[in-house]
Amino acid sequence: MPLTGDYLPSPEKWVRDEVDHLERTGGSAFRDRPVVLLTSVGRVTGALRKTPLMRVEHKGVYAVVASRAGAPSSPSWYGNLLAHPAVELRDGPARFDLVAREVFGDERAAWWSRACGVFPSYAHYQSRTRRRIPVLLLEPPAGA
């Protein structure tokens, strides 16, 4: 089911600029990086939030990595997905209604490896922080 509500742009200028670029061009890359556009519901505001993220896909399932470039805390969108797992994902012209779930153990290790293959900086980000960087899968809702 499509998300509804008012869109509240990010307070971060680079995020606003990248979201604007992706929406204006309908593209799936920004600065030669393969990206997707995640729309989630803010856990505090209840507003729609849009986040450009690296494109990590395997057999129709997407992974999103809450790296925040190795900062000590996870990005805001991570908490949004834990509170409201129904999301919209745009991959170029394709749009999907998906559900997020965090992965752990061997499943996380497999997806972490895929993510680092797409964007090797993730490994560097992990070395910069003590927290285990979360990986979430975005999958079709049950019964879809």
Q: Is the pTM of this model over 0.75?
A: yes
pLDDT in tens, 20-74: 988 988 877 766 779 999 999 999 999 999 999 999 999 999 999 999 999 999 9
pLDDT in tens, 128-138: 999 999 999 99
**Residue 135 region by backbone torsions, left for phi larger than 0, else alpha for psi between -120 and 50, else beta:** beta
Q: Which domains can be identified in the chain, with CATH numbers?
A: 13-139 (2.30.110.10)
pLDDT in tens, 87-124: 999 999 999 999 999 999 999 999 999 999 999 999 99
3-state secondary structure of 109: helix
Confidence of residue 1 (pLDDT cuts 50, 70, 90): low
Confidence of residue 2 (pLDDT cuts 50, 70, 90): confident
Confidence of residue 125 (pLDDT cuts 50, 70, 90): very high
Pinpoint the alpha helices (H) of the chain. Answer: 13-25, 76-83, 105-118, 121-127
